[in-house]
Amino acid sequence: MAFRKSSALMLGAVGLWFVFTSVSAVKATAGQATTNDGVYSKAQADAAKPQFDTLCAGCHAFSVAALKQPQDLPLGDEPFLKKWEGRSLDELLTVIVLTMPNDGSAVINDAEALNLLAYVLQQNGFRAGAAPLTKAGAGAIMARPAK
Ligand code: HEC
């Protein structure tokens, strides 16, 4: 009997802990910036366009219809948003810095990748904010552009 009582108490305690931790997890997610929160500046995106056109546009368009080669991935449109929704911008930056352009024709540093990603966000219809995208802001989560 005594054993039963204490295990019931234990279960209750675990249950309560669960409720508290899941509530705080929801709070943390709600406080997280997304790509709809103006995480880049227009000036930053505009300034990256020439570099994108030179280094990236040969293989990347912003819609499936505009792709030049079938093996290329669009950096916009449904497949891109579906794949990246809920993931942080940091992950995209890592792909750009470590693997792009994937023909070895150039090397992209962190600052350039941030600017290029700002341009990608702009082309996807995410609104610009007052400040440029920085490494600190790249924890923001990819969302779907607010209509
Ligand atoms: C020679 C063609 C080529 C060039 C140039 C190129 N890319 Fe890519 N990129 C690809 C291919 C192919 C993939 C998908 C497979 C892979 O990673 O190789 C890709 C994947 C990506 C992805 C991930 C997309 C996804 O949905 O997973 C990003 C982001 C990206 N490229 C950005 C860039 C940027 C920014 C530049 C310019 C600095 C660039 N790429 C230049 C061919 C290219």
101 CA from centroid of ligand 1 (Å): 6
> Residues 6 or more apart from 29 whose CB is under 8 A from it?
none
Q: How far apart are the first and last CA of the chain?
A: 60
Structural domain spans, the chain: 1-31, 34-139
Distance CA 76, CA 121 (A): 9
Q: What's the confidence (pLDDT) of residue 28?
A: 44
pLDDT beneath 70: ranges in the chain: 1-30
Q: Tell which one of 55, 67, 78, 102 to mutate to probe ligand 1, the residue whose CB is within 8 A of the most ligand atoms.
A: 102
CATH number (1.20.950, 3.40.50, 1.10.760, 1.10.3470) of 34-139 reads 1.10.760
